[in-house]
Every structure is written in structure tokens, then in C-alpha cells.
Amino acid sequence: MSHFEPLVRRQDEMRDRDYLARQFEEQRPQLRRIAYRMLGTVDEADDAVQEAWIRLSRTDESAVENLGAWLTTVVSRVCLDMLRTRRARREEFVGSWMPEPIVAIGEGPSPEDEALIADGVGLALYVVLETLSPAERVAFVLHDMFAMPFDLIARIAGRSPEAVRQLASRARRRVQSAQTEPDVELSEQRRVVDAFLEAARAGDFDALLELLDPEVVLRVDAGPDSPLAREPIVGAEAVLAEAERWNAFAPHARPATVNGVAGFALRRPGRPLFSVVAFTIKHGRVTALDFVVDPQKLARVAAGSSSQGTLT
């Protein structure tokens, strides 16, 4: 054997690894979207994607026929395991668990964030997704959001294709019954949010009541063990009873886009970001108000606010 052969082999391996890394980076945006839909937090989504890279780097890539499908399978299985673990931890959670919000103030989201919210999945849908079993969530996200065939999902979930089809159908019925998607364009959503903030600033309860759907729901994610945690409030009159607090914070509210739907961010001058609020609007009225107050989930929003407009 020539003494040059080990060097040549190492160079070939480095070239192969570089090529594999480039292929992986091409898949990364889609993998992050899948993982974020599954998990609802950017850090956990990135952890799942990174785990897929680690497993790929330890795999003989010549045995991988379809890299995209292989990586999607690995990320989905990692997410499924994370969902199972998280579900066991969250039994004592008070209030409504919501995702880490992706907020655009002023100029809009970064290209990476834009990819995560490309489907316009608002916070309200994530609240419903969180009520699903891990297997139901995986089946629904992969089939209904990413058009993955049931036979592939079955291999990921360790179920039969028919069982996965039933899981997705059950999840779909729950999502559809919750009516989580706005029925108007973003510009019309913003008009309603602006009117809401104007009425809140003026303490005009009649105008606020007119903007609220009779069955409106107010949900709060304050994080674990927070004194602000509460169960959802349902009904316009019950939600309006909270309005005395609104005219105190309304002057500090800044219109924003939250996971692709209209909302606002709230921060008093000189203080940390206090809340991000997403609206679901149907037929010109607010059907859901979703408050994220959890400081951990707001940390990334505050850290990125310099590139998305200030929150003062």
C-alpha cells in the first residue's frame, strides 16, 4: 500500500462529509418546520434537527436511498419521543400551553422565522395540537400539514397504516371543531386588532363587547407555577370582565404579527417584555385571545426585537 493512500482516503472521506453536510443543510428548513409543528418551541425543534444530523453522521450514507425521507423519519421519531416525555411532565400544568411565539414587529420576521410560520399556523391551533396524544399529533402534522403518506407515518409511529389513518382523522375532527383559523386576510385582522386596542385605551366597554364573538375564549400561558396561570375564560361577558386590566396595558401595546396572525406585544418602558397576544378573528369578531406571558417563551422574542422593531 502506498503511504499516500491513507491521506487520499481521508481526503475522500472529508469531501463525502462536506457533501453530506451540504445536503443536510438543504433539508434543514423543512426539518425545522416539521419539528416546530410537532413541538412548538424553536430550541426543541433545533435539538431534534441536530439529533438527526448526529445520527446521519454516524450512518453509512450509501445505505440511505432517499435522504429527505430518512431525515424526516428520524426527526419525527425524535419529536414523538420528546412529546411523550413532555406529556408526562405536563399533567400538573395550569392554563393553556402555547408554543414559543414567533413575533414580527415592524419589518417582519427573519427568513428563518418566516420559514417556520410559512403555513400561517397561529397559536390557537397549537393549543388544540397540545390536547392530542403524541401519536395523534404526529399523524395529523405529517399527513395534514406535510402531505406524508400513511404508510410512511405508520413506520414512524410504530402503528399500522389504518391505525395511523384513524389517528389523523380523530385529530382532524378535533382541530376542525375548534375553528382555529381566521377567515379574513391579515390586513382585516389588523383592522380589528387596532379597533380592539383603541377601545381598550379609551375604556370603551361597549365597543369592546361589539368586537368580541359571544363565544370568545381567552387563554393564558404563564408557564409552570406562575400566579398568572388560569383556566380558559369563555364568553364575551366573562372576557369583558377582564377589560379593567386592559386599559392599563393598552397604551404600551405594539401591533405585531404572531405566528402569521394579527396580535400585539406588550412591554412597559424600561421593563422586560410582558406578553404577546394573538387574535383569532372570524366574521369580523374576535373568537380567541391567546396570551403568552411565560418569561422563558418571551425571552427569544425580546432577544430578536432589535431586528424586528423595538418594543418601547
DSSP 8-state symbol, 101: P
Cell reading at 60: 453509512
CATH class of 1-92: mainly alpha
CA distance 279 to 192: 9
CATH 1.10.1740 maps onto the chain at 1-92
Bridge-based pairing state of the strands 212-221 and 285-292: parallel
| CATH class assigned to 186-308 | alpha beta
pTM: 0.83
pLDDT the model gives residue 267: 84
| C-alpha grid cell, residue 160 | 399500522
Q: Dihedral, CA atoms, 192, 196, 197, 203, nearest 10 degrees?
A: 160
pLDDT (tens place) for every residue of the chain, 312 residues total: 554 344 334 444 445 678 888 889 999 999 999 999 999 988 899 999 999 999 998 887 777 788 889 999 999 999 999 999 887 666 667 778 888 898 887 666 666 666 666 666 788 889 899 899 999 999 999 999 999 999 999 999 999 999 999 999 999 999 998 888 888 898 999 999 999 999 998 889 999 999 999 999 999 998 877 888 888 999 999 999 887 777 778 888 988 999 889 999 998 777 888 899 999 999 999 999 999 999 888 887 766 543 344 443
Ranges of CATH 3.10.450.50 domains, the chain:
186-308
What pLDDT is stored for residue 106 in this prediction? Answer: 66
